[in-house]
Amino acid sequence: MSNGPSPRRLGAALLGLLQGHVALLAHELEDQRNQALRALLLGGLCLAFALLLLIGLSALLLIVYWETHRLAVATGLCLFYGFGLLGCGTWLLLSLRNAAAPFSASLEELQRDREQLLP
């Protein structure tokens, strides 16, 4: 009888370790999916209501100033919407660049296991 672990025990230990990692990865995938769907739904609703509000306010301004300053109001609205687009686009790009890496918990767990298994 040898003093070292049997291949069967070693295989079972590795399988158990792999099962834990797969379970963690599945949990993180589900969380990411739920978060993405919620953000997509709420973002779409916010966008729809914001567009309806902007259309209504733009029409109101054009109606109020139709006789005196219709070209100035239309130009001002276009400039306002253009600057808003640039600001939001910049903000979106910055937030995407600074976002946390997905599956960070799984990667950290794999790194800890590698450090424990390798001499």
**Average pLDDT over the chain, rounded to an integer:** 85
Q: Report the distance separating Cα 25 and Cα 19, nearest Å.
A: 10
What 8-state DSSP symbol labels residue 4?
S
CA atoms within 13 A on the CB side of 25: 10
Q: Is the pLDDT of residue 67 over 90?
A: yes
pTM over 0.85: no
What number of H helices and E strands is found in the chain? 3, 0
CA distances from 31 to 19, 25, 40, 88 (A): 18, 10, 14, 26
pLDDT at 1 over 70: no
